[in-house]
């Protein structure tokens, strides 16, 4: 499934993504730096009912949020990882297999730890500034 959108349309795109039947709860995000991964994840987090201010977990590697329905959601930014072993030591596999929402930026840093059964979102910046998003569920 592919979406082309401008940043002002991101909330409606987040809603459409979350309405995909049987959407997997572990979602990896692939895009160049600055393409809008974190912005999209913020929209998804808001759409899921998180009332806390969401931000990129660049320095902490993972942020945990609670939705208004009591669900737990994890947002990972693995960019600063030095090794897959470092991720394993911090227990990312426990998060990934928890059954909770896991949004993972820079999943290529932990290729052997990402569950086989996950969704993938790729974002490409188009010449006109719009984004092309492709999701494989």
Instruction: State the pLDDT confidence band at 124, using cuts at 50, 70 and 90.
Output: very high
Beta-strand ranges (E) seen in 1-137 are 2-5, 26-30, 62-66, 72-77, 101-105, 119-125, 131-136
Query: Which tens digit of pLDDT belongs to each residue from 43-78?
Result: 999 999 997 665 555 556 888 999 999 999 999 999
For 102, other C-beta atoms within 10 Å of its C-beta total 24
Q: What confidence score (pLDDT) does residue 61 get? A: 83
Among 70, 16, 24, CA closest to 44 = 16
Mean pLDDT of 6-33: 95
Q: What confidence score (pLDDT) does residue 122 get? A: 97
Q: What confidence score (pLDDT) does residue 37 get? A: 92
Instruction: State the pLDDT confidence band at 34, using cuts at 50, 70 and 90.
Output: confident
Q: What confidence score (pLDDT) does residue 2 get? A: 93
Say what the pTM is.
0.90
Structural domains of the chain, ranges and CATH numbers in brackets: 2-136 (3.40.50.300)
Query: Which tens digit of pLDDT belongs to each residue from 77-114?
Result: 999 888 999 988 888 989 999 999 999 999 999 999 99
**How many Å from the N-terminal Cα to the C-terminal Cα in the chain?**
9
Q: Which DSSP helix (H) or strand (E) runs through 88?
A: helix 84-89
Q: What confidence score (pLDDT) does residue 55 get? A: 54
């Amino acid at each position: 499934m592919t979406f082309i959108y401008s940043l002002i349309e991101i909330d409606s795109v987040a809603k459409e993504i979350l309405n995909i039947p049987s959407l997997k709860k572990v979602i990896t995000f692939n895009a160049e730096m600055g393409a809008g991964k974190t912005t999209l994840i913020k929209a998804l987090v808001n759409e899921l009912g998180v009332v806390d201010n969401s931000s990129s977990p660049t320095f902490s590697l993972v942020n945990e949020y609670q939705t208004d329905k009591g669900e737990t959601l994890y947002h990972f930014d693995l960019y600063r990882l030095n090794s897959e072993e470092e991720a394993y030591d911090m227990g990312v596999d426990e998060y990934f297999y928890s059954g909770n929402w896991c949004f993972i930026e820079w999943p290529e840093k932990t290729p052997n730890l990402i569950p086989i059964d996950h969704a993938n979102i790729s974002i490409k910046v188009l010449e006109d500034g719009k984004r092309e998003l492709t999701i494989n569920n």
